[in-house]
Amino acid sequence: MTTSTYGRRVVSIAAIAVAVATALTACSSSDDDSAGGGPYAIWDPYPQFAGDSEWVKLLKSCGTSAGVTVERTGFDTTDLTNKALLAAQQDNSPDVLIVDNPVISTLAEAGVLTTTEENKLDTSAMEPNLLGAGQAEGKTYGVPIGANTLALYYNKDLLTKAGVDVASVRDWPTLTAALAKVKAAGKKGITFSAIGTEEGSFQFLPWFWGSGAQLTALDSPQAVSALALWTGWLEQGYAPNSVINNTQTTSWQEFASGDYAFSENGTWQLANAEKLDFEYGIIPIPASSGGTAPAPTGGEFVSIPVQGNTERYATSQKLVACLTSGDNLLATDTTLSYIAPVAAVQAKQVAANANLRVWVEAVKAAKGRTGDNLGTRYPRISEPLWTAMQAALSGAKTPQQALADAQATAGAAK
């Protein structure tokens, strides 16, 4: 990296991190100036994993393989982003950084991360649609460690009693027809999260993208049709009014009551699904005219931050390569309830647990929220989108007016 580039990086980071005042508590790579000496710092968003967990054991074993000591610190996701920005401003970044995939574009724009071209990380085995969440302006800033996404859980007993064959649910009309049968049988159709936060946008995106809509045109006819689908479900009583305030957790709790035929939720509910008092199944979210709708990808990327001492990159690359190797991905993604970003590992996951097949299918169709070169523009689009959802579902505006207003807001923020 040239001196002028480094200067621009510091200025850019300062603009983003000006409000961040929390002191860094983790050991960093600058504690030792030698190229390969001193501890190598790894920061991750998994504070739930203690020092004796399988995850931390893996980090340490990768350090041993690379011939170095690893010092790991787990942060809350939001706190981690702030810490990473401040650390970069102080030229005090960790050697390896694991962050939620939408954060990659923010850190890349601020000049915090090296590209895979610079750090020589091998991305050839990674699924292109998952890798896309870590790309901006034709450059890649890390490798995915795993992905989760959304699908439809269903109550087998309830559907059977309502006379619904789940195999008939192939598109929006057949799904709506199934919901009508469930309501006629005296039960409730579908629950989801439409809360006025990123969580609501995350849940709406499969329907939005499944209509053929693009995030650069929130008021397109396709986008309107997706929001009209949701508002129609509320108007017909197929979905409850509670979706307006539902998080993905409270939505799941509604489904767990046994009164709902379908629930839109993610891989992270699989452990809870095994505890249900009824038999469940899972199908992909259908696109408007059939097939699997693109759902947004969740999950983290493993990246190598910019270092003043560039000789450390070679060892950092070894650490990342170890963490994302086939065998380690299988163990890690099982622990995190993720689908692996590599097809060969996905096949192993399905072989070990056939219930993961539908999730592999959903992940293969998924896409990153910051993809399509949206990068840091995505948050300025997502908030108007969830605001439009809230307005339409509450009846304050028609879907068309709500999305027209959203597009005007998003356009003005560019």
Kindly report, residue by residue over 210-245, the tens digit of the pLDDT: 999 999 999 999 999 999 999 999 999 999 999 999
Cα 321 to Cα 36: distance, rounded to the nearest angstrom = 17
3-class state of residue 220 by DSSP: coil
Cα 389 to Cα 145: distance, rounded to the nearest angstrom = 31
Cα 374 to Cα 253: distance, rounded to the nearest angstrom = 34
Cα 221 to Cα 239: distance, rounded to the nearest angstrom = 23
Cα 115 to Cα 142: distance, rounded to the nearest angstrom = 7
Residue 34 has pLDDT above 50, yes or no: no
Q: What are phi and psi of 388, to 5 degrees?
A: -65, -40
3-class state of residue 43 by DSSP: strand
Domain extent listing, the chain: 3-144+300-337, 150-297+371-412
Cα 162 to Cα 37: distance, rounded to the nearest angstrom = 66
Residue type, 91: D
> Which of 413, 386, 412, 394 shows the shortest CA–CA distance to 403?
386
Classify burial at 106, counting beta carbons within 10 Å of its beta carbon; exposed 0-12, middle 13-18, buried 19 or more: buried
For residue 41, the cross-strand partners are 71
Residue with tokens 């574009």: 105
Taking residues 350-360, report their average pLDDT: 93
Residue 24 has pLDDT above 60, yes or no: no
Domains 3-144+300-337 and 150-297+371-412 share a fold: yes
Which pTM value belongs to this model? 0.84
Taking residues 389-414, report their average pLDDT: 94
Residue 31 has pLDDT above 60, yes or no: no
Cα 2 to Cα 42: distance, rounded to the nearest angstrom = 25
Taking residues 174-201, report their average pLDDT: 97
Residue 123 has pLDDT above 60, yes or no: yes
Q: How many residues does the chain have?
A: 414
Cα 38 to Cα 181: distance, rounded to the nearest angstrom = 65
For residue 286, the cross-strand partners are 292
Model confidence band, residue 122 (pLDDT cutoffs 50, 70, 90): very high
Q: Compute the half-sphere exposure of residue 64: CA atoms within 13 Å on the CB side of its CA.
A: 6
Residue type, 368: G
CATH code, residues 3-144+300-337: 3.40.190.10
**Domain 150-297+371-412 belongs to what topology?**
D-Maltodextrin-Binding Protein; domain 2 (3.40.190)
Summary mean pLDDT of the chain: 90
Q: Are 286 and 292 in contact (CB under 8 A)?
A: yes
Q: Where are the alpha helices (DSSP H) in 243-293?
A: 248-256, 270-273
Q: Tell me: the pLDDT tens digits for 246-273?
A: 999 999 999 999 999 999 999 999 989 9
